């Protein structure tokens, strides 16, 4: 696991570099995309590269991490609609290239199984962008999630619903209680994981992620078992890291050719 501590704008550029490398090197690139605020600057940077440098997403497919259950098809906070606004509308992804678990399906378990199969059919995820919850969740794998879990229905914790109420005009009651989410086992199959975290509210979760014991109580810690994880954090999110100085020195001395 590589930890890079840098200002937010640089983190976004680094994540966009990693996405760009996949788009340019793979014949049929498969991106894993997150919603929430953490990846927004990355999407802005990718849109800029598309607009100004011709970076093309035309051969790519994208798989979302999760979706609320039961939000109306036209609800602005439905993750399918969020990713449409934040990424799809700004680049040249082909129609039908973005996939997400169907939170409006009549048969939710079948929708979860179909989603797992679709990821496999696409050849698996080359690069997965992730955020992290203040309670250590990734996707919507809340504390207590099986470290081997697959795409399934989960109940959101009160903490996560409170954190996300900001997207629902502060109305906690409007935040759905259930979601469909890729499991930790699903995420672990992505070939490269790039996790972004900024702000002090993420500091404890980031400390556990990189330096804590692997435990279902801090679901992101499962990534310690992944062979290729890049953790991109700003000073505030890095403020609880015991080895922060070591990460800074390591990154400062890293050869430019090495990439993420
Ligand atoms: C979003 C997702 C969540 C968020 C996490 C952090 O698709 O899966 O795990 O990444 O809740 O959210 P932000 O980035 O809004 O702090």
Q: How far apart are CA 118 and CA 116, in angstroms?
A: 5
Give residue 258's pLDDT: 85
Q: Is-contact 5 249, C-beta < 8 A?
A: no
Q: Please pick, among 50, 137, 207, 208, the residue that the annotation labels catalytic.
A: 137
How wide is the angle at C-alpha 33 spanned by C-alphas 27 and 37, nearest 5°?
145
Distance, CA of 255 to CA of 258 (rounded, Å):
6
pLDDT at 259: 83
Cα separation, 16 vs 38, in Å, equals 13
Chain length of the chain: 260
Measure 229 CA to ligand 1 centroid, in angstroms: 17
Q: Tell me the C-alpha distance between 165 and 173, whole Å.
A: 8
Q: Average pLDDT for consecutive 10-residue bins of the chain (260 residues)?
A: 98 98 98 97 98 98 98 97 97 97 98 98 98 96 97 95 95 97 98 98 98 98 98 98 98 90
* Ligand 1 pocket mutation, candidates 8, 34, 223, criterion most atoms within 8 A of CB: 34
Q: In DSSP terms, which residues pair with 181 in a beta bridge?
A: 66, 152
Are the CB atoms for 206 and 231 separated by under 8 Å? Answer: yes
Asked if 156 and 179 count as a contact pair (C-beta separation under 8 A), the reply is: yes
135 belongs to the catalytic site: yes
Q: DSSP secondary-structure letter at 219?
A: G
CB within 6 Å of ligand 1 — which residues? 34-38, 65-66, 131-133, 137-140
Ligand 1 atom nearest to 138, measured from its CA: 9
Q: How many CA atoms lie within 13 A of 209 on its CB side?
A: 34
Considering the domain 2-242, what is its CATH architecture?
3-Layer(aba) Sandwich (3.40)
> First and final CA of the chain: distance in angstroms?
10
Distance 187 CA to ligand 1 centre (A): 14
Ranges of each domain in the chain = 2-242
The answer to whether residue 137 is catalytic is yes
SS3 of residue 232 by DSSP = strand
Using the structure block, give the residue that is written with the tokens 């078992």.
225
Q: What is the pLDDT of residue 107?
A: 98
pTM: 0.97
The per-residue pLDDT for 256 is 85
Q: Is 142 one of the annotated active-site residues of the chain?
A: yes
């Amino acid at each position: 696991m590589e930890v890079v501590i840098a200002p937010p704008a640089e983190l976004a550029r680094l994540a966009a570099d990693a996405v760009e490398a996949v788009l340019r090197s793979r014949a049929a690139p498969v991106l894993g995309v997150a919603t929430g605020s953490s990846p927004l600057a990355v999407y802005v940077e990718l849109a800029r590269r598309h607009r100004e440098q011709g970076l093309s997403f035309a051969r790519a497919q994208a798989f979302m991490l999760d979706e609320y259950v039961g939000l109306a098809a036209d609800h602005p906070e439905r993750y399918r609609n969020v990713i449409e606004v934040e990424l799809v509308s700004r680049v040249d992804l082909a129609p039908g290239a973005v996939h997400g678990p169907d939170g409006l399906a009549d048969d939710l378990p079948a929708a979860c199984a179909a989603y797992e199969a679709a990821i496999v059919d696409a050849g698996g995820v080359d690069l997965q962008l992730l955020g992290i919850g203040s309670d250590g969740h990734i996707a919507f794998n809340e504390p207590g999630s099986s470290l081997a879990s697959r795409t399934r229905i989960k109940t959101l914790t009160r903490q996560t619903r409170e954190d996300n109420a900001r997207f629902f005009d502060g109305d906690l009651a409007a935040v759905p209680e259930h979601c469909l989410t890729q499991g930790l086992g699903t995420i672990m199959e992505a070939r490269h994981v790039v996790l972004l975290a900024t702000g002090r509210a993420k500091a404890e979760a980031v400390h556990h992620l990189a330096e804590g014991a692997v435990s279902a109580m801090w679901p992101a810690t499962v990534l310690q078992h992944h062979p290729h994880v890049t953790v991109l954090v700003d000073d505030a999110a890095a403020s609880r890291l015991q080895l922060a100085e070591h990460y800074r020195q390591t990154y400062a001395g890293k050869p430019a050719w090495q990439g993420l």
